Amino acid sequence: MSPATPPTPDAVVVPIESRLVEFVQRLRALGIPIGVDQAVSFAESFAWIQPLHRSEVYHAARATLVNRQEYLELFDRAFSEFWEPLRASAQPQKAPQAPRHRPEQFQRSTLVSFMAEKAKRESKEIEVTDRTETATQVEWLQRKDFATMSDDELRALREAMTGLRWDFSQRLSHRLIKSRRGRMLDHRDTLRRAAKLGGVVVELRRRDRKQKPRPLIVIADISGSMELYSRIVLQFFHGLSHQLRGTESFGFGTRLTRVTDAFALRNVDIALDAVSSEVIDFAGGTRIAESLHTFRHLWGPKLLRRGAVVVLISDGCETGDVEQLKREIQALQRSCYRLVWLNPRLGQHRYEPKVRGMAAALPYVDDFLPIHNFESLRQLRDHLARLPKRKGGSGEVSRRL
Amino acid sequence: MKADSLEQIAETLEAEGYVSDPAVSMSLFLALKMRRPLFLEGAPGVGKTEIARVLSRAFATELIRLQCYEGLDIHHALYEWNYPRQLLRLQAGQSEDLGAIYSDEYLLKRPLLQAIDPARSTSPVLLIDEIDRADEEFESFLLELLSDFQVTIPELGRIEAAHSPIVILTSNRTREIHDALKRRCIYCWIDYPSTQKELAIVSMKVPALSEHVREQVVSLIQKLRREDLLKPPGIAETLDWAEALMHLGIAELDTDTVRQTLGVILKNQEDISVVEGLLEDDAWVAQVG
């Protein structure tokens, strides 16, 4: 972000800004990958163009948001669809709301100026004097939606993620180990002690079942608008999986592919870039049911065992058959210990899971949790550390907002 | 049993009712010659365990089977002391010498110890079945045993096999077995059989079924394996089905009979409904013949 044009909380700019974000999200939903920095450049370009001239906005958007020829056609269509109705209806402009009515907007601008301030002076001394403010910033960062974060903030987030400690849900294996308060007798040890005392059993030695971490399987939608969230969540699990052997990761869009090995070798971002062309067919939309079907058939027998926990990251926008999605989710839940569905939209204000796919799948999901900001990541970690001992009856969904 | 050449192995297997193929015969031949364990991997029901049974019959030797499961430890795989008897003996006050209760008399020999018992006069066949069900801890323990067929029991000392057993390990590949263990073995992947091979197997095992129905059965099973099923039927299921049809006295396999007997070959409700759907499809049925 350029410090030359510090954004001012101008009352008139606010509605346009949110409209721009909406447009960017629309493009992402269509499968055009748009990074946060691109969206910021698009917003910045408004300082140099006439926002009421349609063709200027069009070319500015095209120049800043699209960087591959293949997307141009899709972009053109989306642009006219998005901006045309607005022109036609010519609604009277609503009175702008004061920033205090939109705390999100207000806080963003203070944060942006703070970040710009910080970017200029990177000496350690400043960090120390700014400590109180940094604390509030970190706190704020925890509740900020990933999609609205700048590069700097995302970097800060990644650092914060590496600091998280992991304590994943354990299962009782059938292997027995010595344990002072175990539930089973250790005959061998008890007898060995008794033998020394001429056959008098003075002390009972005990054994108990060894605890082992559950296998964890992460299946993430990495297409379109889900890409950013999935990247962060996969990174989160990747960082934690160093403390946990046997975490398996899969990415899907129109198709599903296993990314576990790629993650082990490379950084998550590079690995995802490499696989995204493989699994995403921009015309094909998001095929959750088909991807889950592939997962169950190819990997299920190998991975869905020993109390596996499956974490699915998706917004539930199924472009395929919704009935099939329902069957797949049902079958998946039956064959794992716990099925956790993470949906970034759940973090949005007044979200209702009414998307066709989401509504169909919900009755068969054990946990339905938001995953849009750092705080939700921490909640997820805490939740995964304390998974209930037995699977709750289907239809019983723990939903945290 | 003669196992001096590849041809002899194939003949012996045939004579014992096992329809082999060149890959299996070769792996088995090498495993026997090189005195290495044979590691058989493949989908459930393709006849992995059967090879061990056939070998024990052919060599006229004992088959010792160890079924693996999670948490399998030395007390269940190798040996255990008979604690109640030991305790009784101690409390009866007969033992001045502690060593007395740690003797052969109180030793319970589990499959692995039975297999390397020095008292044996011939090599037994040791079948370690479904090793993928055991955990990594057990795998590491096996490494030690399989490399030199000897173990040390702290109270008794070292026990070494006089005739090293013929070891067959099987895995359904629900997980990857550690390379260190596989490296010590001869590896053989057993696939679903070809139509021809499967027909030969059915003819050999269920000769009472008419040739026509046998062909129909194999043709349908082969077709089913190409469908997207969670648990495709193995040879074991083919044989069960052939036997079921024989008991039913079927002379001609039609879709109704298939529908009624699907439970013999498919054990998963989802798969059953998929196949029921296929049976509705006349074009699909016509392809099977």
Bridge partners (DSSP) of residue B111 are none
Cross-chain residue pair A176–B81, CB shorter than 8 Å: no
Q: Spell out the residues 6+ positions from residue A313 whose beta carbon is closer than 8 angstroms to its own.
A: A218, A219, A220, A221, A226, A229, A230, A233, A234, A342, A343, A371
Q: How far apart are CA A320 and CA A287, in angstroms?
A: 5
Q: Which residues of B touch A188 (CB under 8 A)?
A: 75, 80-81, 83
Query: What letter would DSSP give residue B157?
Result: E
Q: Is the pLDDT of residue A77 over 70?
A: yes
- Across the beta sheet with A338-342, the strand order is A256-258, A247-252, A216-221, A309-313, A338-342, A367-369, A398-399
Report the SS3 class of residue B130. Answer: coil
Q: Radius of gyration over alpha carbons of chain A, in Å?
A: 26
Between B220 and A67, the more confident residue is: B220
> Could you give the CA distance from residue A220 to residue B172 in angstroms, rounded to a whole number?
28
Please tell me if residue B178 touches chain A, with a CB cutoff of 8 Å.
Answer: no
Q: How far is CA A67 from the centre of its chain?
A: 25
Interface predicted TM-score (ipTM) of this complex, two decimals: 0.71
- The residue ranking higher by pLDDT, B95 or B184, is B184
pLDDT in tens, B72-91: 988 899 999 998 888 888 87
Q: Residue A17 to residues A44, A64, A97: CA-CA distances in angstroms?
A: 10, 15, 13
Supply φ then ψ for residue A177, to 5 degrees: -130, 160
3-class DSSP assignment, residue A73: helix
Contact (CB<8Å) B71/A201 = no
Tokens representing residue B230 in the block: 């969670």
**Of residues B93, B98, B174, nearest to A195 (C-beta):** B98
Tokens 């009866």: give the residue: B92
More confident residue, B158 or A109: B158
The H or E element that residue A341 is part of is strand A338-342
Report how far residue A84's alpha carbon sits from residue A54's, in angstroms, rounded to the nearest whole number.
10
How many residue pairs from chains A and B have C-beta atoms closer than 8 A? 58
Q: Which residues contact B101 (CB under 8 A, 6 or more apart)?
A: A195, B81, B86, B89, B90, B95
Of B90, B173, B270, the CB nearest to A194: B90
Torsion-angle region of A222 (φ positive above 0: left; ψ -120 to 50: alpha; else: beta): alpha
* Pick from A101-115, B27-41, B77-91, B154-168: least confident: A101-115
Q: Do A175 and B135 touch (CB under 8 A)?
A: yes
A390 pLDDT higher than 50: no
The string of DSSP letters for B189-256 reads EEPPPPHHHHHHHHHHH-TTS-HHHHHHHHHHHHHHHHS--SS---HHHHHHHHHHHHHHT-SS--HH
**Nearest to residue B126, comparing CAs of B55, B186, B58?**
B55
B133 CB neighbours in chain A (<8 A) are none
Which residues of chain A lie closer than 8 angstroms to B71, CB-CB? Answer: 173-176, 209-210
| Sole residue written with tokens 């869905």 | A304
**Residue A149: how many CB atoms within 10 A of its CB?**
21
Task: List the single residue in A191, A302, A331 with the smallest CB-CB distance to B270.
Answer: A331
d(CA A227, CA A24): 13
**What tens digit of pLDDT does each residue of B96-132 get?**
667 778 888 889 999 999 999 999 999 999 999 999 9
Q: What is the pTM of this model?
A: 0.69
Helix A54-65 × helix A13-29 angle, to 10°: 50
Give the C-alpha separation, A346 to A399, whole Å: 9
Coil vs helix vs strand at A264: helix
The token pair at A108 is: 């963003």
Averaged confidence pLDDT in chain A? 72
pLDDT surpasses 60 at A29: yes
Contact status of A143 with chain B (Cβ, < 8 Å): no
Sign of CA pseudo-dihedral A170, A173, A179, A181: positive
The answer to whether B266 touches B231, Cβ cutoff 8 Å, is yes
Nearest by CB to residue A173, choosing from B93, B135, B175, is: B135
| Better pLDDT: B96 or A47 | A47
Q: Is A331 on the interface with B (CB under 8 A)?
A: yes
User: Which residues have a Cβ under 8 Å from the Cβ of B111 and sit 6 or more positions away?
Assistant: B64, B65, B66, B77, B126
* Tokens read off for B42: 């493949």
How does pLDDT run across B200-217, given as a tens digit for each residue? 999 999 999 999 999 999
| pLDDT category of residue A375 using cuts at 50, 70 and 90 | confident
B127: which strand partners?
A: B65, B168
